[in-house]
Amino acid sequence: MSERARNIIAIAVSVLALAVIVFGFSSEPAAEASAEDRIASLSAAIRCPFCNGESLADSQAGVAADYRALIAEQVAAGATDEEIMDEFAANFGDSFILDTSTSAWSIALWLIPVLALVGGAGVLVFMKRSASDREVS
Amino acid sequence: MIALAGYAAIFLALGAAIVIVVLGIRHSSDGDRSALRVPVLVFLGASIASFVLLELAIVTHDFSIAYVANNTSTTTPFLFLFAAGWAALEGSIVLWGLLLAIFTYLVWRQLDRVDGLGVLALAVMGVVSIFWFGLMATAANPFALCTQSGGDFCVQSSWWPLVAGAIPIDGRGPNPLLQNHILMAVHPPMLYVGYVGFTVPFAFAIAALWRKDSGRMWLDRTHRWSLISWAFLIFGIVLGGWWSYEVLGWGGYWAWDPVENAALLPWLAATAFIHSAIVQRKRGMLQAWNFILVIVTFSLTILGTFLTRSGVIASVHAFSQSTVGPLLLGFLALIVIGSLALFAVRASDVAQAPRLDSLSSREGYILANNLILTVFAFTVLFGTLYPLIVQAMSGDEVAVGRPFFDRAAVPLGLLLLLVLGVGSISPWRVASPELLWRRLRAAIAIGLVAGAIAVGIGVDSLSVVLTIGLGVFVMSAIVIRFFEMSRSRPEGLRSGAAKVFRNDLGYWGGQVSHLGLALVAIALATTSGLAVRDTVVLAPGESVVVSGYCLEYSEAFARSEPHRETQGVHIALMDESCSSTKAELEPRINTYEGSSQPIGTPDVWTGFVDDVYVGIAGGSAERIELNVFVFPLQWLLWVGGLIVVAGGVIALGRKPARRRETSDDVTHQEPGATHV
C-alpha cells in the first residue's frame, strides 16, 4: 500500500469515528443518575462521623450504614445533592464535607497544582530556548 | 528468655550498623570492601535473629511479650499468626530492619574489591539502619515485656527486658480486618520491599554527591535496585487494592486514604526517576534533576511511614501508637534538610547546561511526563496535607477527600496517557511531525474507532470514552511499532520479533509496563464510570434481576470456627432469564474472637466482561438486604497491574552497563558524553 493510500485510510477512518463520537454525545442527553449512583457519590463525598476519617461509602462501621440509609431516605424523598450535603454540614460542620468545591479554601487547593503544572511547562520551554540560544552563539 | 535474646539481637544489629558507618566513612578513600565484611555479616545475622526470635515468640504464644499478647491469640490460624510478625507497628519495623539488612548485604556483595563510592554508600545505608534499629531499641521495642495484664491482653509494658512480668492468659488476636483475607499477609511485605529498596539508589546518590562523582556511575549501579523497588511497590499497591475490593464490602479498591496516598507518592516519584535516569544514560542530561528525584522518592517513603505510624492524620490504616511519630518526623527532617543541603553545596559540580535539541523528541516527551508525574505527586501530597496546612494557618477544619483527588487525577492521567503514547514511539533528539504522523496515524484511527464503539454500545460518560480511546491509542501505537520493527528485520517477522524484543529488553520491558498501564486506565474508567449499584431485599426463594444478572436467595447458613463465627447466605447467580446457574455466591459476615465488630465479606463472581459483587448490607435471614454491584472489566485492573509489574521485571534483563574498575575514572569522563 502506498503512503498516500495509508494516509487517506487513516484520515477517513479517524474522521468517521470522530463523527460517530460527536453525534453520539450530541444526540442523546446524558442519562440521569440513578438513586443508587447518587447515594454512592454522596456517601463518598461525606466524611463519616466517628470513623477514623473514612467517608460514609468506605466505612464498615454501623453508624456509616445508618447515615447511608438516611441519605437513601432523603434521595427517595426528592432532596437534591446540595440539600443533603448542606444538612450534613449544618449538623456536623464543614469539615465533614469531603467535596471541597464549595469552600473558600478550595481555591488555593486547586490553584496551586495548576500553577505548578503551568510553571513546570514554562521551565521546559525555557530549557529548550536556552539550549537553542547557546547553539546559535 | 526470648525477649532478652531478641533485645540482644537488636542491640547487636544497632552496634554493627554504627560500625558500618564509621568504617564506611574511614575507608571511602581507599575503597577497601573487605574492611566492611565483618560488620555487614554481623548486621545481617543479628537482623535475621531478631526477626526469627519475634516469630518464635509469636508461634510459641509467649504472652509475656506485650506485642505477642496484643496482636495474636491461641486460636489465630497459623498463616495469620506468622503474618502477625509484621502486622502491627513494632513487628513491621522488625521486618523493615530485616529487609534493610538483606539489602545492605546484597549491596556489599556486589561491590568491587576497591570501591570508594560503594563503601561510602554502605555508610549512608548504615545511617538509615541506625535510625530503624534505634527505634526498635527504644520507642518501638517489639520485645517489650508486659508489666500489667488485662486478662486477654497487655495493658502496660516496659521496654527494658529485665522487669518482672505479668503474663496475660491469652492474647487479643490480630485486628479482625487483617485476618479476613490471605492477601493481607502478602500485601505489606511487598510494599516494604519497595519502600526499603529505594534506600539503595538514595545511598549511592548521596555518596556520589559527597565524592563529587557527578557522572552516571551511581545511576548505572543502582538501576536494577530502582526497578526492583519500583516493581515491588506497585505490586504491593495492586495487592492492597485487590484486598480492599475483596474484603471491605463497598466494592472499591482505592479511597485516596492518606496512607494509600503515602504508598502512591513514592511510586509516582520513582516512576519519574526511572524515566529521567534513562534520559541521563542515553543523552547525558538531567544529572541534577535525577539527584533531586531520588532524594524526593526516598523522603516520600519516610513520609509515608510517618503518616502510617504517627496518627497525625486520621486514617483506617494508621496504627494507634504515636510515640514513634516525633522520631520519624525528626528523621524525615534530617533526611530532607541534610540531603538538600548537600545537594546545594555540590550544585555547581553537578549543574550542567541543558542540551535539549527539540521538545518533540523521546527526551522531550519523557521530560513532559516527568513534569506531569511530579505535579501529580505534588497534588496528591498537597491534598493529603492540606487539612493540616489550613488548620495550622487559620484553625479552620477542612476535609479533602475522593471528590478532589478524582477530579484532579482524571485530567492529569489522560494527559499522561497522551504524552506516553507519543513519547514511546519517538526517536531520541528529534521527532519530526511527519515521522510522528507516519508512526501514529493507524493508532490514532484505532483509538478513535474504539471511542466510537464505546459510544455505540451506550457509554455516555465523556471521561470514560476519552480514557478508552487514549488507552487503545497507546496500546496500538506500541504494538504497531513492535510489528513494524519486527517486519523490517532480515530474518522475517516471527524470529525477527523475538530478536527485536531481546535486543532491547530495557525498552520493551518499559513498553510492556505501558501496555499494562493503559489497561489499568481503561479499567479504572469502566469500573468507576460504568458501575451499576443496587440494593435489594430478598426473602428465601425470591429472585431479582440486576443489570442482566438474576440473583436467587436460596438459604442462610452459619458456621463456627475457633477464631470466628460466620453467618452468610447462599445466592445463586443466574443469567437474565433466571434459568441457568453461573455460580453460587456466599456473602457472609464474620465476627472474630476478641472483637465485637462484625466484618462483612462480600463474594464476587468474575465473568468475561463483568464482576458481580454481592455483599450483605443488613436485614435478617427471612428478609436479607444485599448490596449488588456490577463492575465492568474489573479483572482488567488486576491483570493490567500485574502486566505493569511484569514489564519492570522484563526490563531487569537489560544488559548491564559496562562496569569500570573504580568509580573514579567516571569523573574524568566528559559529563555530556552521548550514550546511544
CB spacing of A128 vs B368 below 8 angstroms: no
Residue B644, phi then psi, degrees to nearest 5? -60, -45
- How many Cβ pairs closer than 8 A exist between chain A and B? 173
Query: Coil, helix or strand for A99?
Result: coil
Give the chain B residue whose CA is nearest to the CA of A109.
B383
Give tens-digit pLDDT for B532-574.
Answer: 888 899 999 999 999 999 999 999 999 888 888 899 999 999 9
Distance from CA of B17 to the nearest CA of A (A): 37
Residue among A9, A60, A81 with most chain B CBs within 10 A, to mutate? A60
Using only C-alpha atoms, what is the Rg of chain B? 27
Of the pLDDT bands very low, low, confident and very high (cuts 50, 70, 90), residue A68 is confident
User: What is the per-residue pLDDT for B77?
Assistant: 86
**CA separation (Å) from B451 to B235, B406, B468, B617, B626?**
29, 21, 6, 36, 34
Per the structure block, which three cell numbers stand in for B581? Answer: 446457574
Q: Which of B288, B231, B342 is nearest to B641 (CA)?
A: B231
CB spacing of A21 vs B358 below 8 angstroms: no
Residues 6+ apart with CB under 8 A from B136: B10, B14, B50, B90, B93, B94, B97, B142
| pLDDT top residue among B68 and A131 | B68
User: What is the per-residue pLDDT for B214?
Assistant: 75
Give the chain B residue whose CA is nearest to the CA of A7.
B441
Residue B167 bridge partners (DSSP)? none
User: What is the per-residue pLDDT for A95?
Assistant: 74
User: What is the per-residue pLDDT for B164?
Assistant: 61
Of the pLDDT bands very low, low, confident and very high (cuts 50, 70, 90), residue A130 is confident
Q: What is the ipTM of this complex?
A: 0.85
User: What is the per-residue pLDDT for B305?
Assistant: 83
Inform me whether the pLDDT recorded for A59 exceeds 90.
no
Q: Does residue A112 belong to the interface with chain B, where contact is any CB pair within 8 Å?
A: yes
Residue B603 bridge partners (DSSP)? B614
- List chain B residues with CB under 8 Å of A130: 353-354
- List chain A residues with CB under 8 Å of B469: 21
Give me the residues of chain B with pLDDT under 50, please.
659-676
Q: Please, how many CA atoms are within 13 Å of residue B613, restricted to the half-sphere of its CB?
A: 28
* Residues 512-571 (B) with a CB less than 8 A from some CB of A: 532-535
Q: Does residue A129 belong to the interface with chain B, where contact is any CB pair within 8 Å?
A: no
Per the structure block, which three cell numbers stand in for A132? Answer: 537553542
* Residues 39-78 (A) with a CB less than 8 A from some CB of B: 39-40, 44-45, 47, 52-55, 57-58, 60-61, 65, 72
User: What is the per-residue pLDDT for B250?
Assistant: 74
User: What is the per-residue pLDDT for B163?
Assistant: 64
What per-residue string of b and e applies to B194-208 under the rule 16 or more CB within 10 Å gives b?
bbbbbbbbbbbbbbb
What per-residue string of b and e applies to B573-584 under the rule 16 or more CB within 10 Å gives b?
bbeeeeeeeeee
Distance from CA of A83 to the nearest CA of B (A): 17
